[in-house]
Amino acid sequence: MAGVELKAPHPLDGIDASRLLDGSDAHRSKPMGFWHHFQSGQSTWSDRIQKAIMEKQLAGDPLPHDPPRIQKDVDEFPQFPEETATGHAAWNDWPWKLHRINGKKFELYNLIEDPMEKHDLSQDPQQAARLAQMRQELEGWMRSVIRSLNGKDYQ
């Protein structure tokens, strides 16, 4: 769109959406994954910290927080095992959608025929090959997400 060619040394997240934006394509050409991974982050109450620092500075008092504590774990990233991917994930390959529910249950839907996802086709023998293929693609994508979270994209 901007005529810029980028040669990055690492994988880039995202896709070229220009054809969707200019109307020349109405559908995504590649499948897309979604995943809600049950992993909490590390909270940093920046507004509270900044307010406390400002109050102390205005009063001429010593800072209320130890600077190393404010920067705690900035360069430390948790490592996630690839074998234990948890949470709900979905793989959209129009018109098909596969749900992976906490790694234990799979549901398959044809979104053209069943946009409200009421009729699970995962047990339909006619869909066995599609289910296996989509499951393999979803699990491969999830492994790539975990590798990215573990920083392996950038090594």
What would the 3-class secondary structure string for 78-98 be? CCCCCCCCCCEEEEEECCEEE
In a domain, 23, yes or no: no
The band of 82, judged by pLDDT with boundaries at 50, 70 and 90, is confident
In a domain, 61, yes or no: no
In a domain, 17, yes or no: no
In a domain, 134, yes or no: yes
In a domain, 116, yes or no: yes
CA dihedral 130, 131, 137, 142 (to 10 degrees): 160
How many domains are contained in the chain? 1
Which position has the higher pLDDT, 138 or 47? 138
Angle in degrees, CA 76, 149, 109, rounded to 5: 155
The band of 67, judged by pLDDT with boundaries at 50, 70 and 90, is low
Question: What is the CATH number for 93?
Answer: 3.30.1120.10
Mean pLDDT of 5-23: 75
In a domain, 45, yes or no: no
Q: Could you tell me the residue range of the domain that residue 101 belongs to?
A: 32-37+83-147
Which position has the higher pLDDT, 83 or 142? 142
In a domain, 105, yes or no: yes
Listed residue (118, 120, 117) closest to 107, CA to CA: 120
**Which neighbouring-strand residues pair with 135?**
none
pLDDT at 22 over 80: yes
Cβ neighbours of residue 78 closer than 8 Å, sequence gap 6 or more: 39
The band of 41, judged by pLDDT with boundaries at 50, 70 and 90, is low
Cβ neighbours of residue 26 closer than 8 Å, sequence gap 6 or more: 20
From the number of C-beta atoms within 10 Å of its C-beta (0-12, 13-18, 19+), residue 98 rates as buried
pTM: predicted TM-score of the whole model, two decimal places: 0.68
Report the pLDDT value the prediction gives residue 117, as an integer from 0 to 100: 98
pLDDT at 48 over 60: yes
From the number of C-beta atoms within 10 Å of its C-beta (0-12, 13-18, 19+), residue 89 rates as buried
d(CA 114, CA 141): 25
In a domain, 27, yes or no: no
pLDDT at 40 over 80: no
pLDDT tens-digit map of 97-139? 999 998 889 999 999 999 999 999 999 999 999 999 999 999 9
